[in-house]
Amino acid sequence: MTPPDDIGAGGRRPARAPGARRLTRHRLFWPATFLASLLLGNVAFTHDFFAVRVQNGHLYGSLIDILQFGAPLILVSLGMTLVIATRGIDLSVGSTVAIAGALACEHIATAKDPGSLPTVLSAITLAVGVAAAIGLLNGLLVARLYVQPIVATLVLMVAGRGVAQLITDGQIISVSSSAYKMIGGGYWLTLPFAVLLAAALVAVTSFVTRRTALGMLIESVGGNPVASRLVGVRAAGLLVMVYVVSAVCAAVAGLMISSNVSSADGNNAGLWIELDAILAVVIGGTALTGGRFSVGGTVLGALIIQTLSTTIYTLGVPPETTLVFKALVVMAVCLVQSPAFRARLSRRRRPAASAPAVGDAGVRQQEVHP
């Protein structure tokens, strides 16, 4: 049946909620507010926190630093967002970061001409290609062998660091290649290249997921796998794809990190970045149970984590204690997302209302059985 075509788009629309309420209901409202207050809080300690200077044609300042150091995390979180949207998780990204950095640096260090563009480009291709293979392995384990995502990616989380050290032979490989340095430490159009690269990849991901049907299909697989199967969504392909994307994002982040310090450290590069990424995704409003995802929220989440680290650093507290704050934030966010927690909270808030009902029941019972 074909419905008549003469009915135009639009039609009746319900009255919109008042502006302020719509604003607070927006999914990015709370992460954005949190980030803003974190940034403002910093002004109290560092008065020129918001100052951005131009020096040698480059922008400098705390805000720029946050963006630059946050860029790898943004990338890893980006891939993680898609994986989590399908009800999955990718624990292997930290190892992938290390492997990608190690591969690229090893390739450049052993090349005849480390500074040349072709060398750097082939290094990048190599790193990204191997990462894609890692993602493929994860994806096939999850989509074809039905291994739980947390278990499937655990394998590479364990083995990956060993592989990275195997590549670097346990050494920290230093490279001196100005072309490679560009990825994580260079500037372009006054901005750090890493920031631009991350922004570009975020934009591409947003564009591809939202302009093609990819985002909707991922959300439908994560939101209701059974119903998705019944409407003919090919879940296996999507699952493999998100794990590949996640690994590739991690690889680019790995290139950035190793390029920034001009060396590859198989042991420490990207250590615990998988946990930060999960945290960023959760703070950004994508639930660990899958479904709706928000790339914008994830970027905010990653920036929040980076700002938190920066703040703690400027406060003079040992930087490692960031972990404590992260733990508290992750617990708070998870509790707020937990239906059981909300149910408890609302029960506690309204004990008075339920009290008379209990009394009623008692009376009724007496009526029935005199």
Partner 1 sequence: MAAPPGPRTPTRTDQPVLQARGIRKAFPGVLALDGVGLRLFPGEVHALMGENGAGKSTLIKVLTGVHPPDEGSVSVDGSLQRFAEPLEAQHAGISTVYQEVNLCPNLSVAENLLVGREPRRLGLIHWSALYARAARLITELELDLDVRLPLSAYSLAVQQLVAIARAVDLEAKVLILDEPTSSLDRDEVAQLFSLVRRLRDRGVAILFVTHFLDQVFDLCDRVTVLRGGRLEGEYRIDELTPVTLVHRMVGSELRTLDELAETSRTASAAPVPAETPFLSARGLARSGAVQPYDLDIHRGEVIGLAGLLGSGRTEAARLLFGADHADAGGLRINGERTDLRSPRAAIARRIAFCSENRKAEGLIAELTVRENIVLALQAARGWARPLSRARQDEIAARWTEVLDIRPADPEAQVRNLSGGNQQKVLLARWLLTDPELLILDEPTRGIDIGAKTEIQKLVTRLASEGTAVVFISAEIEEVLRLSHRVGVLRDHRLVATLLNDPPLTPDRILGTIATGATS
Partner 2 sequence: MSTTLSSPTRPLQPFSVRHAARLPLMVTATLLIAMFLIGSLLYEGFFSGQVLLNVLIDNGFLLVVAIGMTFVILTGGIDLSVGSMVALSTMLTAWLVEQNGAPLALAAPLVLLVGAASGALMGWVIHTFEIQPFIVTLAGMFLARGLCYTISTDSISLTDPTTTRIAQTRVLLPGGLFISPAVVIAVIVLALAFVVLHHTRFGRTVYAIGGNEASARLMGLPVGRTKVAVYAVSGLCSALGGLLLTFYMLSGYALHAVGMELDAIAAVVIGGTLLTGGSGFVLGTALGVTVLGLIQTIISFQGTLSSWWTRIVIGGLLFVFILLQRLFGGSRPALRRVLGSGRTRPRRPGGEGVGALAERDC
List residues binding partner 2 (CB under 8 A).
87, 89, 141-143, 145-148, 150-152, 154-163, 165-166, 169-170, 221, 225-226, 228-229, 233, 235-236, 239, 266, 271, 275, 278, 282, 288, 318, 320-328, 330-331, 334-335, 338-341, 344
Could you give the angle at the alpha carbon of 39 between the alpha carbons of 249 and 31, nearest 5°?
55
Cα separation, 30 vs 160, whole angstroms: 36
Nearest distance from residue 367's CB to partner 1, in Å?
A: 8
| Structural tokens at position 179 | 């072309």
Could you give the angle at the alpha carbon of 267 between the alpha carbons of 93 and 83, nearest 5°?
5
Q: What, of partner 2, partner 1, none, does residue 147 touch, CB below 5 to 8 Å by kind?
A: partner 2
| Structural tokens at position 55 | 């020096």
What is the gyration radius of the CA atoms in the chain, in angstroms?
Answer: 24
Q: What, of partner 2, partner 1, none, does residue 325 touch, CB below 5 to 8 Å by kind?
A: partner 2
Q: What, of partner 1, partner 2, none, does residue 223 touch, CB below 5 to 8 Å by kind?
A: partner 1
Nearest distance from residue 54's CB to partner 2, in Å?
A: 36
Contact flags string 271-310 toward partner 1, x per CB under 8 A: --------------------xx------------------
18 touches partner 1 (CB under 8 A): no
Q: Please, which residues have CB within 8 angstroms of residue 73's CB and are 6 or more apart in sequence?
A: 253, 273, 276, 277, 280, 302, 305, 306
At residue 191, the 3 state secondary structure works out as: strand
Q: What, of partner 2, partner 1, none, does residue 364 touch, CB below 5 to 8 Å by kind?
A: partner 1
Nearest distance from residue 144's CB to partner 2, in Å?
A: 9
Closest among 65, 99, 105 to 259, alpha carbons compared: 105
3 touches partner 1 (CB under 8 A): yes
As a dihedral over the C-alpha atoms of residue 262, residue 301, residue 97, residue 94, rounded to 10 degrees, the angle is 130
Which stretches of the chain bind partner 1, using CB under 8 A?
A: 1-5, 7-14, 211-214, 216-217, 219-220, 223-224, 226-234, 238, 291-292, 361, 364-365, 368-369
